[in-house]
Structure 1
Amino acid sequence: MSSHSTTRISRHILDFTFRPQASTRHGTFLASAALLSLSSSLAFAQAVSDDTSADMLLDPITVTAEGGGGGVGPDLDRPSNAGSRLGLTARETPASVEIIDGETIRQRGQTDVNQAIVRNGIGINFMGAPGNGGTSLGMRGFTGHGSVTRLYDGVKLYPGSGTITFPFDTWTVDSIEILRGPASVLYGEGAIGGAINVVPKKPLTDSRRNEMQAIIGTDGQKGLALGSAGPIDERFAYSFDISGKGSDGWMDRGDASSLAVSGALRWQASDELALTFSHDHGYNEPSAYFGTPLIDGRLDERLRHKNYNVADSLVRFHDHLTQIKAEWTPSDNLSINSTTYYLSSDRDWRNVESYLYRPETGDIRRSSYIAINHLHEQVGNRTDATFESRFAGMENRTVVGFDVNRIRFRNANNSPYPGESVVDPIDFDPGFFIGPDQFRSTLDSTTLQYSLFADNRLKINDQWSVVAGLRYDDPRLERTNPQTGTGFTRNLDSLNWRVGAVYTPVPDLAFFAQYSQASEPIGSILSLSDAQRDYVLPRGEQYEAGVKYSFLGGRADATLSAFHIRKKNVLARDPDDRTIVRQIGEQSSQGIEAALGFDLGHGWRVEANGTILDARFDDYIQAGGDFSGNTPPNVPQEAANLFVSWAFAENWLVHGGLHYVGKVYTDDANTKTRPSYAVVNAGLQWQPTETATIDLNVYNLFDEVYATSGGATQWYLAPPRSATLSVRLTF
C-alpha cells in the first residue's frame, strides 16, 4: 500500500470521526520500504544456523510492563536499555535513568507524549510550539532538539530545520525511557542534555490484551481508541493499536485532530530466531496557534483565547516508521539483534507567525507569513552483538555493533516570508494567508552516517561493577540549493566515551559515579547552513555521582544525583573584534536531581521529583554585549513534580498532580523573564466491574494562566482548565 493510500485512509477516518478537512499529499511508498527491510532481514536470518540451542531473545528495546502502573517512584529494578545497551536495571547503571510506564501514563490521564515526559520525568521543561513540531524540550540546562535526542523504538529521530513531529499519542506507548545527561555514546551527536526513547506496545506471546476507550470532554474533545495483542499460535504473535482524537480547541479557530496507528507481527521462526515486522503511522493536525502578543511587555488576560493566525492557517504532520527486527541467539552466551527501518515525514505549515503590539497605535502588527513543506526520508540499519563471558573469574558482558543510515531532507518555502497586516487586539477579522508568491525548494540535503559502538560491564564482585562505552560517528552531509545550484559537502565525525562505576554495599543501596563525553551539532546537521559549514561540533563533558536506594521492604525507592556539565566550542564574538564569530564560547550547568516514591499503605501512594539547577554562559560575547555569567534563555533554575493517589474505597481512586517550573529568562542579556508556574491536575477513577473503568480528569484545576515558551514580545500560552470523561473496557 502506498503512502498516498495510507494518507487517504487517515483522512477518511478523521473526516468520518472528527471533522472535515482537505486531503493531504505524500510522495513515498511505504510498502516498498517495508519489503526492502523485510528482504534484508530475511537475508540476515537465512545465514543463521538453525541447529544451535538457546533461549529466545527478547527485543532489545522492550521493557516488560507490569499491571497497575509499574513500580513505585524511580522503579530501580526494572531492566531496560535506557542507560546502556547492556540491559541493566537502573540500580546497576552508573547514570541517571528512569522508565515511565505506559499504563501509569494513561491512568494519570496523560494523552500527549510530551505531556507525559514533562509531568513524570525529572527536571524536564517543555518548549514545544508548532514551528518545532510541538516537541522541543530542555534537560540539565540545555535546550532544543540539538541538545535533547529523541528516539522512537530505538530509532534516532533526526531534526530537520529544528523539527520533530512524532510520536504524539500515548495510547500506543508501552514505556518512555529517559537518560539524563550526555548520551552521545549511545546515540551519537546531539545529546548533551539527555535522550528520550518512546517504546511502543509489543506483541504478547504468553498473554492477551483487548481494550477500547472512548473520551469526551470540554472544548469539543472526543476520542476513540482500540487495542489488541496476543499469540496467534505457538509461533506468531501480534499487537495492534489505533487512536483517533479531535477537538474544537480552547482558543479561536483552534480545532485539531490526530490519528495514531501502531502494529507489529512477531514470528518465532525457530528456538533461536525471531523476526518482528512493525509499522507505525501518525497523522497530526494540531491547533494552528502560534502565541499571544504581550501588551506593553505583559500578558493581557483578555487576549487569552484569541488566535491571531489567519483563517486558512495550516499545520499538518504525517509520519511513518516501518521496521524489521531479527533477534538471534545462537548460544547461551551470544545474542545478535538487527533492525532495518524506513522512516518518512511530510510536514506542512501555512501561517502568520509573528505578532507585535504597537503602543503608539494600539494595534497588533502581524508578520512572517510563512509557508513551508518538509520531506524527510531515513533508511537505516542498527546491528549489535552481546557476548557473555568471564574475565579473570569476573562476569563480563560486552555489546559491539554498528549503526548506518541515509537521510534525505528537503525544505520548500516562500522565503523571505513576505506579508504584513494590522488587526485590533480584541475585535478583528483574521483574514487569509497572503501568497505564497514564490514557494520554492531552498534546501536539498543527503546525509550518509555510520557509527561503531561498544559497551562493556565488568562485575568485579557482588558489590563493585564498572561500565564503559565508546562510540565513533561519521555523518557526511551533502547540501545543495536547488535555486542557485550551489552547495557543499561536510564531514562531522566525532568520538565519544564514558566510564562509570557502581558500588552496592547492600542489595538495596547503590552508589554510582561516571564521566561522559558528548558532541552537539550547531543547529541541525540535516539543515546545516553555508555559514556554519566550517564549524566543528561543539564538545561537552559531564561529571556525575549519585545514590539509588530502596527501603521500607521495597515499598519505597529514592534517587539523588549531582552533576556538572561543560560545553565548549560555542559560537561567540571575538572580544577584540565583535564582527568576527568564532567557536570560543563556553556554557555550563550544574545541579542536583532527586526522586522519591512511597507506597504508604491504606491505599495511599506518593511520588515526587525535582531539580535545582545553576546554568550559565561561562564565556559568551555577542554583538549586543558580553553575557558571560548570565543564564541561557528558556532554562528554569527549579522544576518539580508531585503525584498523590488514594484508593479511598473499593474500586474507587482519587489522584492529583502538581507540575512546577521556575521562571526563565527569554534573552541572553537576562533583562526579560517569563514567570514561574504551578499547575494542578486531578482525577477520579471508578471501576464498576473487572472489565470497565470510568475516569474523570480535570486539567489545570485552578485555571492558571501561564506560558511554556516565547520571547520578549509573544508567548505561547498553555491550555486553560479543561476536563475529560473516559470509559475504558477490557475483554
Structure 2
Amino acid sequence: MSPRSIAACLAVATCLAPNAAMSGPAAPDAVELDMLEVTATGAPAPRGLNLATPAPSASRLGLTPLQTPASVDVIPGAVVRERGQITVNEAVTQNGVGIASTASPGTGNSAFSARGFVGTNSVMRLYDGVRLYTSTQTFPFDTWNVARIEVLRGPASVLYGEGAVGGVIDVVPKRPTFTDVSEARVGFGSDYTRRVAAGSGGPISDVLAYRLDVSRNAGAGWLRPNGDFENLAVSGSLLYRPSADLAVTLSNDYGDTAPERYWGSPLVNGRVPRILRDTNFNVADSEIRWRDNWTVLKAEWSPSADLSVRNVAYRMTSDRFYRNAEGSAFLPATGLVQRSLFAEIRHDQEQIGNRLDATLRGDVFGLPSRTVLGAEVNRIRYRHINNRPYGGTDLVDPFAFVPGRFINLAGTAPGYENVVDQYALFAENRLVLTKELSLVTGLRYDAPIIRGADLRAGTRFRSDFEALSWRAGLVYQPRPDVSLYAQVATAVDPVGNFVSLQPAQKDFRLSTGRQVEIGAKGLFWAGTAEWTLAGYRIVKDNLVSAVPGQPGVGVQVGSQSSQGFEAALSLSPWENWRLDANLALLHAQYDDFSQTVAGRVVSYAGNFPVDVPERVANLWLAWAFAPRWEARLGVQHVGPMASDFANLLLRPDYTLLNTVLDYRPDPGSRLSLRVYNLTDEVYAAARGGNATSLLLGRPRTVELIYDVVF
C-alpha cells in the first residue's frame, strides 16, 4: 500500500491533516463514525497515533497532541476491537505507552501503573471527561461502547484535581450522531465463553439523535471452582441540536458485573506450581458483584466565534459487594494451604457534581490567545459496611481441594461513612507567540472537605485540604507536522482515597509531585507515519509510613522519584503491512522512606516502588496478506516488579503473544479468530490478596467473533 493510499484511508477514518489541526478543534458538526472502514483490499484502514486529532482529555483548549506540551495517547475504539481487547484494562495496557496493569478484585479489576506511580490515587480514571471519585474503580469494563481512550501521561492535577501524579486515563463512549449506523457482535470461545452485543444510532428528527449500546459477556472461566463470570453493560444517550451553536446530550450508562472470585494462588518455594495454576482457593459461597449507574446532562453553547460555554451535570451511584477468603499461604510442614482474610464488604456510594467552563478566543497584546475558565463542585457520600477485623483461618488440601464455606467471626455491620465536598477553580491558556512557538499554561485550585463518621464508635472527624496545581509548557513547531516541547508541571495526591479516608489519616498533608518533561513528536510520509519521544523526571514528597502494632496509623515521611524515556512509532513499512510499537524505560526508587520493623528502623531508600515495572513494551503488526484476509500479532512485554517495600518478593517479567486472524465476507462484516497468550505462559498479573500469593494471568484461550455493521 502506498503512502498516498494510506493517506486516503486516514481521511476516511476522519483523522485530521496537520495543517487543519493547527486552527483548532473539529467543527461542531463533524462526527467520527466507529465503523468497519476498509480499503480496496478489504483490510481495515490504519489509524496510527492520531497526533493531529483533538484530545480533550489532555487539554480543554481543543488542542491536538501535536499542539500539547505533554505525552498523549489517543486509542480509537475501532482499533481496540480489531485487536480483540475485550476489557478497558487490556486496551490501555496493550496500546498505551508505558502503562502496566496492577488490577485485582480489590481495585475493581482496574488499576494501573504509570511513570513510577500506582493505583487510583496516582493514576486517575475518567469516564467521558468526568472523574469517578471511587475507592474501587469498576466502571467502565467493556470496550464495546468505547469511541476512544485517551491517556495523558504525567501529572494532570491542573486539569482534574488531586490524584493524578502518574497520569489520567479517559474512556470516551460512543455518543449520538446524525448518521445512521447499526452494528452487532456474537462470539464464542474457550471455557464456554459467550459474547453478544448490539448498537444502533442515528437521527430521530432533524434536531434529535440517539445512540444505544448493549453488551453481555459470560463464561465458565479457566479457574476451578468459582472462575465463572458474567457482566452486562447498557449505554443510551440522546442528542438535541436545535441549531449549529447549541447541543444538549442526556446519557445514562449502566454496568453490572460479577467477575471471577479469584484473589490469588499460593506461592510454593517462591513460585506457583503449574499443577496449582487452575485451582481457585476461594470459598464455595464467595461472591463479588459491582453495579454502577452514571447519568450525565451535557450542554454546549457557542453564541459567537469567540465564546463557547460548556456545562456538565452528573449523578453516579455505585453498589459493590465482596464476600471472599482473600488470603492464602502454603504451609511446607503440612503440605496444606491456609486461608485467611475472610472479608465481607459492601460499598454504597453516590456522587453528584457539576462542571462549568467557558472558552474565550481573542488577542492578548496582539497575540492570538485561547483561554478556558471554569469551576467544579461535587459531593460524594460513601458508606462502608464490613466484618472488620477480617479474621478467621482454615486449612485445605491443595491436591484434593474442597472449597468450604465463608467464616464470619465479627459479624457484618456498617463501619464508617464519609461525605466529601469538593470545590475547584481552574484556568488554561494557549498564547501563540510566533507562527512556530506557543505557550500553554494551566492553573487549578482545589478545596476538598471530608467529614467522616465511625458508625460503630460513634465518633466523627473533619479534614479540610487545599491544593494549588499548575503547569507551563512551550511548543515549537519548525514545521506544521513536527513539534518540540518542554513542560514543567505540579500535582497532588491524596494520602488515601478521600472517600475512604480514616481518622488516623485526617491530619496528613497531601502528597505533592513535580515533573519536568521534554519531548518531540511528528508525522512523515504525508501524515501516514507518526512518532513520539519523551523524557521526564518526577519527584513525589510526603509519603506515608505505617506504625507497626497500630493498624491504620501512620506517619508522613519520605519521597519517591522516577525518571524515564518513552517512544512510540506507527507506520506502514511495506505494502499491506502496518506496525505500531512503543517502549517505556523507567528508573523509579524510594528516595527517603523507612518503617520500624521488629523494633528497628529499616530504610527502603534506593528500592524499587511496589508494582512498578522498569520497562514496558508493546508491538502490533498487521498484514493484509490476501483480499479480505488480515493477520495481526500483538507482543506485550512487562518487566519485573516488586511486591514489597524491601524488594524481597519479586515478580518476574513476562511476554505475551496475542494473535488475530480476520476474514471479511463483505465490507461491512468481519469474522475473527483470536488466540490470547499464544505460548500459554504462566505469569503473575498482579499481587494476590496477601504477600504469600500471586494473581495469575489467564492461560491460552481461543475465541471466534463475528462483527457486522449494517
Same fold per TM (> 0.5)? Answer: yes
Q: 2:218 aligns with which of 225, 236, 246?
A: 246
Q: 2:180 is matched with which residue?
A: 208
In structure 2, do the counterparts of structure 1 residues 609 and 209 end up closer, same or farther at CA, with 3 Å as the change threshold? same
Q: Deviations over 1:294-326 (max 9, x none)?
A: 012222110000000011110100000001111
Deviation at 1:610, TM superposition (A): 1.1
Match of 1:689, SS state, is coil
* Alignment of 1:370 onto 2:343: yes
* Contact 1:537 1:569 (C-alpha < 8 Å) held by counterparts: yes
* Contact 1:658 1:679 (C-alpha < 8 Å) held by counterparts: yes
* Cα separation, 2, equivalents of 1:533 and 1:590: 31
* Alignment of 1:223 onto 2:199: no
> Which letter maps to 2:503?
D
Q: 2:627 is matched with which residue?
A: 650
* Contact 1:468 1:500 (C-alpha < 8 Å) held by counterparts: yes
Q: Deviations over 1:497-525 (max 9, x none)?
A: 00001000112211000000000011211
Q: 1:529 is matched with which residue?
A: 502
Structure-to-structure mapping, 1:492-571, within 5 angstroms: 492-571=465-544
> Which letter maps to 2:407?
I
Deviation at 1:600, TM superposition (A): 2.3
Q: 1:353 aligns with which of 326, 332, 345?
A: 326
* Alignment of 1:171 onto 2:144: yes
Match of 2:447, SS state, is strand
* Alignment of 1:714 onto 2:698: no
Structure-to-structure mapping, 1:600-615, within 5 angstroms: 600-615=573-588
* Contact 2:389 2:410 (C-alpha < 8 Å) held by counterparts: no
Match of 2:92, SS state, is helix
Deviation at 1:70, TM superposition (A): 7.3
* Cα separation, 1, equivalents of 2:251 and 2:435: 39
Q: 2:80 is matched with which residue?
A: 105
In structure 2, do the counterparts of structure 1 residues 89 and 63 end up closer, same or farther at CA, with 3 Å as the change threshold? farther
Structure-to-structure mapping, 1:325-364, within 5 angstroms: 325-364=298-337
RMSD: 1.8
* Cα separation, 1, equivalents of 2:260 and 2:545: 36
Deviation at 1:66, TM superposition (A): 7.8
Gaps of 5+ in 1: 1-54
> Which letter maps to 2:99?
I
Deviation at 1:58, TM superposition (A): 4.3
Q: 1:678 aligns with which of 655, 667, 672?
A: 655
Q: 1:447 is matched with which residue?
A: 420
Match of 2:80, SS state, is helix
Match of 1:531, SS state, is helix
Structure-to-structure mapping, 1:25-44, within 5 angstroms: none
**Percent pairwise identity:** 44
* Contact 1:153 1:200 (C-alpha < 8 Å) held by counterparts: yes
* Cα separation, 2, equivalents of 1:272 and 1:602: 43
Question: 715-724 or 386-395, which moves further after superposition?
Answer: 386-395
Q: 1:621 is matched with which residue?
A: 594
Match of 1:600, SS state, is coil
* Cα separation, 2, equivalents of 1:665 and 1:422: 28
Deviation at 1:57, TM superposition (A): 7.4
Q: 1:182 is matched with which residue?
A: 155
> Which letter maps to 1:729?
V
Deviation at 1:395, TM superposition (A): 1.3
> Which letter maps to 1:423?
V
Q: 2:4 is matched with which residue?
A: none
* Cα separation, 2, equivalents of 1:179 and 1:344: 26
In structure 2, do the counterparts of structure 1 residues 708 and 59 end up closer, same or farther at CA, with 3 Å as the change threshold? farther
Deviation at 1:582, TM superposition (A): 3.9
In structure 2, do the counterparts of structure 1 residues 639 and 325 end up closer, same or farther at CA, with 3 Å as the change threshold? same
* Cα separation, 1, equivalents of 2:519 and 2:35: 27
Deviation at 1:65, TM superposition (A): 6.1
Deviation at 1:392, TM superposition (A): 2.5
- Runs of 4+ in structure 1 deviating by more than 3 angstroms, as ranges, are 55-60, 62-73, 579-582
Q: 1:392 aligns with which of 339, 347, 365?
A: 365
> Which letter maps to 2:683?
Y
Q: Deviations over 1:207-230 (max 9, x none)?
A: 221011001001110011000111
* Cα separation, 2, equivalents of 1:584 and 1:424: 43
In structure 2, do the counterparts of structure 1 residues 381 and 194 end up closer, same or farther at CA, with 3 Å as the change threshold? same
* Alignment of 1:432 onto 2:405: yes
Structure-to-structure mapping, 1:687-698, within 5 angstroms: 687-698=664-675
* Cα separation, 2, equivalents of 1:548 and 1:672: 38
Q: 1:87 is matched with which residue?
A: 62
Q: Deviations over 1:407-453 (max 9, x none)?
A: 00000011112221100111121011123651111111111111100
Q: Deviations over 1:543-579 (max 9, x none)?
A: 00000021122221000000000001112489xxxx9
Structure-to-structure mapping, 1:45-124, within 5 angstroms: 58=28, 68=37, 72-124=47-99
Deviation at 1:83, TM superposition (A): 1.4
Q: Deviations over 1:132-182 (max 9, x none)?
A: 10011110000011100001011101122xx11100000010000110000
Gaps of 5+ in 2: 1-24, 38-43
* Cα separation, 1, equivalents of 2:343 and 2:557: 34
* Contact 2:540 2:561 (C-alpha < 8 Å) held by counterparts: yes
Deviation at 1:465, TM superposition (A): 0.4
In the superposition, the TM-score normalised over structure 2's length comes to 0.92
* Contact 2:36 2:668 (C-alpha < 8 Å) held by counterparts: no
Q: 1:8 is matched with which residue?
A: none
* Cα separation, 1, equivalents of 2:392 and 2:298: 49
